[in-house]
Amino acid sequence: MKTEAKVGAFVLVCAAILLVTIYRVSTAQIRGARVSYKTYLRYAGGLEPGADVLFGGITVGAVTAVRPDAQDPTRIEILMDVKLGTPVNAKCVARLGSVTLVTNPVISISTGANEASRLPPGSVIPPEETISVDDEERKIAALADSAHTLMDAVQTDVKDAQRLIAHLNDITDKPNQQRLASILANTDTMVARTSPKIDQISDQLVKLTNEANGVIAKVGPAVDNVNATVSNANETISSLRQPTQADLVEVKKTLTELQAQMQAKDQDITDTLENVRIITGNLNELTESVKERPWSLVRIREPKDRKVPPVAGAK
């Protein structure tokens, strides 16, 4: 390659680098320096890259990516670039919102707390879930069903109220009013007649109460005497309890000793009876021996048998 070609290629590469640098610098100056944050939501509600990011209602950046989380597919990962210097702190929360009903959804970051620590770039802003449109529709449907039930109940109550008013109108018509007036007049007359009797009964009740109080006052000392007697009896029983228990212990001890002695005597009687049995057996043997060998009483050896004497005339 010729030197002119190499120089031309070098100039072109330098020009391209210069143009890219100028573009990036101009873009950075126009947009300002940005830092990245992210958050996770269960419902993105049609959020797309390029949507605005609001901090306290002020536009401070844009959404750069909306995608399912690789580690937890049940939530959506939202990446966003925010202007450098935005006071995003640990108390901030990110939620899905919109400026008006007809605008596209945005990410709204709350201002958090002044004393909270600032979140470094790349941190996760704690999310706050919003109710989806489907959930709102289901709740509205449930409310509508409840409203129908409530309206049916109200209509039933209205019908009952109408029947009650009709009954009241029947009761308060002129004939009934006259009848009620007559009943009230009779009641007044009855009260006037029975008032002296009621006063007399009240006087008798007061008299009986006073007499009962006198009887109670007289019975009081007798009750006290009974209580004192019971107390004395308790003390007497308590004083006799310990000696009685001691006597019972002594009696039990004596019975135990007697039982031991009786057991010892039983053993002695058993031994004596055994000796008597042995002696009796020996006596029985001696008696049998004497019957069989009476000579043993006077001789030690058994005598020889006698010879038969010869018969006369025998050879």
The 10 Å CB-count burial string (b at 16+, else e) for 120-156 is eeeeebbbeebeeeeeeeeeeeeeeeeeeeeeeeeee
For the full predicted model, state whether its pTM sits above 0.85: no
Of the candidates 36, 119, 118, the one whose C-alpha atom is nearest the C-alpha of residue 78 is: 36
User: Which positions of the chain have pLDDT values less than 70?
Assistant: 1-2, 4, 7, 23-32, 101-102, 132-137, 169-173, 219-220, 222-223, 226, 230, 233, 240-241, 293-315
Q: How far apart are CA 196 and CA 199, in angstroms?
A: 5
CA angle 298, 303, 306 (to 5 degrees): 135
Cβ neighbours of residue 129 under 8 Å, at least 6 residues apart?
Answer: 41, 42, 43, 95
Give 14-33 as a 3 state SS string. Answer: HHHHHHHHHHHHHHHHHHCC
- Tell me the pLDDT of the chain averaged across its residues: 78
Q: Which two tokens stand for residue 105?
A: 């959804």
Comparing C-alpha atoms, which of 83, 134, 131 is closest to residue 109? 83
Provide the strand spans (E) within 105-193: 106-109
Domain range summary for the chain, segments of one domain joined by +: 1-31, 34-130, 132-171
Would you list the DSSP string of 47-68? Answer: --TT-EEEETTEEEEEEEEEEE
| pLDDT of amino acid 240 | 67
The total number of residues written for the chain in this structure: 315
- Residue 29: predicted pLDDT: 47
CA–CA distance, 270 with 192 (Å, rounded to integer)? 106
**How far apart are the C-alpha atoms of 51 and 36, rounded to whole Å?**
15
Alpha carbon dihedral 134, 139, 142, 147, in 10-degree steps, equals -130
Distance between CA 48 and CA 67 in Å, rounded?
Answer: 9
CA distance 270 to 278: 12
